[in-house]
Amino acid sequence: MAKAPKTEETAMTAPEQNTSLVIHDYGDDAGKGYENQTKADMSIPFINQLQALSPLVATEKARPGDYFNTVTEEIIPRDKGFLFVAGGTRRAFAEWVPRNNPDGSERPAPAGGGGYRGEHAVDSAIVARATKESVKFGKFFTPDGNVLRDTFYVYGCLCGEDGTNTMAIMPFWSTKIKPYRAWQTRLRQFTIKDETGVTILGPDGKPARPPLYGHLNRITSVQTQNTNKQMYYVPVITSADPRGLQWSLLAKTDERFQMAKECKMLFESGAAEVDYSKQDTAGDDGGGGGEDDSTTGSPFGT
């Protein structure tokens, strides 16, 4: 059988790739398609502070102390942080299925999986019972052994450095409660002063105070340790302008002011769409469960 004549082989070369980013000009189509959407079409993200045992840190995709946006999945560096305008706050006891029983023994996986099980009001019967039966300061459990975590939620406007703003929510619990209280106390006690440093009085004759959503804040992280010398990160909340609160105030016409105010109204009306199971609890306080009890607070503390 005759062999087929050999043909010269042609080497296949991959097409040259353009490695530069292409910027598209969409012209009249820019921003179209969202005309019929409202806030009900969007999810409000959690901005979680990651700890040593957070999944993203364990897989080396982020560092302890970095922040994570649960909707965009953006990782925000702990040193740079982000700008945030608080619109309002809310306190509740979040119920979680723990990995271990209160005595430290391993707990079998519950039906339906673990994780978030809802929340309870501060003055609810289940919280009152948990407080009465608590054997360790700041530790609260349901009758079936689930954890009740005293949590302060701060909702408002996450301000992008590029001018893109969106609503977001931050949870503060355990060792995060101390910086949360210091932040809120500082803002609440602030009074507006004139150029000579004299406090300005409002129409009621009392010192003029801006609303909570009149303050532009920067949130970063700092490493600290508990009484067991376990290392973990807590939020650091400062004025956006290093010169102080007076220099970080927003005008009422500022988009960030208006968005934080709108976020407040959404939460108070119950119309906010939030998936509370997205708040990260993995590896809190260094991952050892040994938070500094002096910062956890009583459920009926100030």
Reading the chain (302 residues) residue by residue, the pLDDT tens digits are 455 555 444 455 555 555 666 666 666 666 556 455 455 555 799 999 999 989 999 999 999 999 999 999 999 999 999 999 999 999 999 999 886 665 655 555 555 556 889 999 999 999 999 999 998 888 899 998 899 999 999 999 999 988 899 999 999 999 999 999 999 999 999 999 888 888 998 888 889 999 999 999 999 999 998 888 889 999 999 999 999 999 999 999 999 999 999 999 999 998 888 889 888 765 555 433 334 333 333 333 32
CA 80/CA 170 separation, integer angstroms: 17
Which residues is 159 bridged to in the sheet? 83, 165
Are 246 and 62 in contact, with CB atoms under 8 Å apart? no
Are 86 and 213 in contact, with CB atoms under 8 Å apart? yes
The CA-based angle 224-241-199, given to 5 degrees, is 110
Closest residue by Cα to residue 74 from 46, 34, 37: 46
Sign, CA torsion 255/257/260/265? negative
Classify the phi-psi angles of 253: left when phi > 0, otherwise alpha if psi is within -120 to 50, otherwise beta: alpha
Residue 202: predicted pLDDT: 86
SS3 154: strand
Helix-strand-coil percent breakdown of the chain, rounded to 5?
A: 20, 25, 50
> 142: Cβ–Cβ under 8 A, 6 or more apart, which residues?
95, 126, 130, 148
Residue found under tokens 């016409």:
253
Are 176 and 49 in contact, with CB atoms under 8 Å apart? yes
Phi, psi values for residue 178, rounded to 5°: -60, -50
Residue 299: predicted pLDDT: 33
Residue 120: predicted pLDDT: 96
User: Which 3-state string (H, E, C) describes 80-106?
Assistant: CCEEEEEEEEEEEEEEEECCECCCCCE
Q: What's the gap between Cα 269 and its chain centre?
A: 21
The H or E element that residue 257 is part of is helix 255-269
